[in-house]
Amino acid sequence: MTPTPAVGKDTMHQNPPPLTTTTVTVAYAGGDERRGPVTMGQANMIRCILRDDPTHINIHDVWPVPEGTTPAAVTDALSTLAVRHEGLRTTFPHAPGAAPVDQVVAAEGTFTVTVLDHAELPGDPAEYAESVARAARAGRFALEREFPMRITLLTVAGQPAYVALAFSHAVADGSAMAILREEFAELLAGKELSELTSLPPVDLAAVEASPAGLRKSEASLRYWERILRTGPQEMFAEPRGRRPGTDEEARQLTLRSRRGARALAGAARRTGHPEATVLMAAWCALVAHRAGQDSCVTAVPSANRFHARVARSVTTTSQDALLHLDVGVGTFDALVTRTWGAVLDAYRHSQFDSVRLWDMIGRVTAERGSHFGRDVVFNDVSALPAPLLGTEAQDRDDAEQELTWGPPQALPTRLLAFTYRTAPQLHISLWAAPSVFTPEEAEGFLTGLVLFLEAVAAGDVPMEALAEVTGVRPAERGPDWLRVDGCWVSPDAVRETLGRAVGGLPVWVQVNEASGADSRLTAYIARGATSLTPEEAHRALTALIPAAGSGVLAPHRYVLVENPPTEPDRSDAWRRLNTIDEGTGRSRQV
């Protein structure tokens, strides 16, 4: 559910045009014709494909071609892969305006290869090939008819050098691209491919629709619902973090740090936990610390390839794991132990019917009067084969520690991180929303993460010492902000948004102290001659919450009166008025 940012610099405009451009049509035949429902992973990615910018959701790769390989050998290998893997012969018929529910596998067909022949490849050849592949991501794939790979063969005086490809994310993810790359190289080397042991997409869909598969999906939906009902609705709820009506543009900030790699390895040795778990614990601790939260909710895109039946399937299995980590422990060592179990729990519940998931999210957030923004995403792709990460993710290994700024990108998140490598340097790219992080704060967050890892490598770190250790300061909210339903809320923001929602009627929001640390809100509305009901007020408010800004959560109760008091800025004056109607507005109390 998250777009994959491109890696590397766009150099095409700096290069001279190729000498010649030709298009070759390649036929393939010998497969089986099949039809069935889409898989959960396909449905999840199709939803993004139909909604998101194609340059964000499409994916790409570059396959080097060994010297001496003929163009015919390249096209023969590609044709073999198309016949071997049903996912590459799959289209998704659907009516205009509707999302596909079925997939159709063709027995035979054709695809095209664009051949760009050069006297020599301009600039750095690998970087140039990367830019060609990345440029092919532009333009939405026609799911109902288009071959799911856009293929460009780069040649030098007729000799193949690279195959640059863009893939529809509906048929491939990073792991699938790695499988295809490996098999392509084996075919060109004259090797015989091993027998397929993992399920093709149509069979995978049947497993997901089995009683066991449906029970797994139901368990995932219950897991997500529990977090959506009890966790913070947004991590970065603070006065300056107003949610814009559209996605923000965030510049890419990249950390390359040998210091970070050494520290992470040392922390893993000292704590006895895998590097991935240590890094996740440190990330969540620092995010929660910066956000002033006692837990961290972060989306962790998962390849869902834990079982042999999908380990080498050429399809997309990517779905979000939703990690909810309570950071309320004394020390980092206690947190990293807790992280191990929490991450496993999140991954176990990352296979679900995405249509039902978003229906559930809509229902739960309407009942709670909240908004699920998926505002923090952590994507660790360091386990992928290095060539899949692009040339820019592989070079400059000598950086002891450096930060570099890249181009902006519109993303529907507040904080997005990609971990490309953990050795020989820690390589992380961060996109931090300008409404929440200044450039200096974004840089301080990444350098603070390295400082945190260095401290953890040396010994256990008290959680209360994070500001001192990392230099990262928690958000400042002011005395008018308070905790409601586990969320940071500004009663003033609630009152302003509710007033707009009910057409400018006078509104007062009363804070009622509740047991424990949380408070509860009661909204008084002077409805005058209107027929407004608590349910209508609640629906109108929840419709505005996604774009309203940080700190807005629906009140627990709405009290309707005829006219505002003579002193409308005093809560006791509102409480003395006659009540016309009152109610929660929610279909389920939280």
pLDDT per residue over 239-294, tens digit each?
765 554 456 789 999 999 999 999 999 999 999 999 999 999 999 999 999 999 99
Tokens read off for 8: 């590397």
**Closest Cα to residue 105, out of 195, 16, 183, 37?**
37
| Residues 490, 561 within the same domain | yes
9 pLDDT band, cuts 50/70/90, is: very low
What DSSP string describes 67-133? TT--HHHHHHHHHHHHHH-GGGGEE----TTS---EEEE-SSEEEEEEEEEESS--SSHHHHHHHHH
CATH code, domain carrying 486:
3.30.300.30
Interstrand relation of 149-156 and 109-118 (parallel, antiparallel or unpaired):
parallel
CATH code, domain carrying 154:
3.30.559.10
Containing 527, the helix (H) or strand (E) segment is: none
| Residues 407, 496 within the same domain | no
| Contact in structure between 19 and 97 (CB atoms under 8 Å) | no
Evaluate if pTM is beyond 0.95. Answer: no
| Residues 373, 460 within the same domain | yes
180 part of a folded domain: yes
| Residues 460, 504 within the same domain | no
CATH code, domain carrying 393:
3.30.559.30
Spell out the residues 6+ positions from residue 128 whose beta carbon is closer than 8 angstroms to its own: 11, 12, 15, 121, 122, 154
388 pLDDT band, cuts 50/70/90, is: very low
2 part of a folded domain: no
| Residues 259, 343 within the same domain | yes
| Residues 466, 486 within the same domain | no
Q: Domains in the chain: how many in total?
A: 3
| Residues 487, 522 within the same domain | yes
477 part of a folded domain: no
Q: What pLDDT shows up at residue 360?
A: 93
Tokens read off for 396: 């400059």
Tens-digit pLDDT profile for residues 279-300: 999 999 999 999 999 999 999 9
210 part of a folded domain: no
Average pLDDT over residues 449-467: 98
Tens-digit pLDDT profile for residues 328-349: 999 999 999 999 999 999 999 9
352 part of a folded domain: yes
| Residues 502, 423 within the same domain | no
Lowest mean pLDDT, pick from 16-20, 40-44, 152-156: 16-20
| Residues 384, 465 within the same domain | yes
546 part of a folded domain: yes
pLDDT over 90 at 584, yes or no: no
314 lies in which domain range?
Answer: 238-470
Tens-digit pLDDT profile for residues 568-583: 888 889 989 999 999 9
Interstrand relation of 102-105 and 34-37 (parallel, antiparallel or unpaired):
antiparallel
On average, the pLDDT of the chain sits at: 89
pLDDT over 80 at 390, yes or no: no
476 part of a folded domain: no
| Residues 371, 392 within the same domain | yes
Could you say which of 446, 470, 494 is where a domain stops? 470
Which long-range CB contacts under 8 A does 242-248 form with residues at least 24 apart?
242/435, 242/549, 242/550, 243/371, 243/373, 243/435, 243/546, 243/547, 243/548, 243/549, 243/550, 244/435, 244/547, 245/547, 246/410, 247/410, 247/411, 247/412, 248/410, 248/411, 248/414, 248/433, 248/434, 248/435
Could you say which of 443, 470, 497 is where a domain stops? 470
590 part of a folded domain: no
| Contact in structure between 4 and 176 (CB atoms under 8 Å) | no
Residue bearing tokens 């509740």: 514
Q: What pLDDT shows up at residue 514?
A: 60
| Residues 34, 153 within the same domain | yes
**What is d(CA 352, CA 320) in angstroms, rounded to the nearest whole number?**
9
- Burial class from Cβ neighbours inside 10 Å (0-12, 13-18, 19+) for residue 109 reads middle
Average pLDDT over residues 172-186: 93
**What is d(CA 6, CA 388) in angstroms, rounded to the nearest whole number?**
11
Could you say which of 205, 227, 260 is where a domain stops? 205
Q: What pLDDT shows up at residue 48?
A: 87
Lowest mean pLDDT, pick from 48-52, 63-67, 152-156, 494-498: 48-52
Average pLDDT over residues 46-59: 88
Tokens read off for 219: 């368990």
Q: What pLDDT shows up at residue 247?
A: 66
| Residues 320, 464 within the same domain | yes
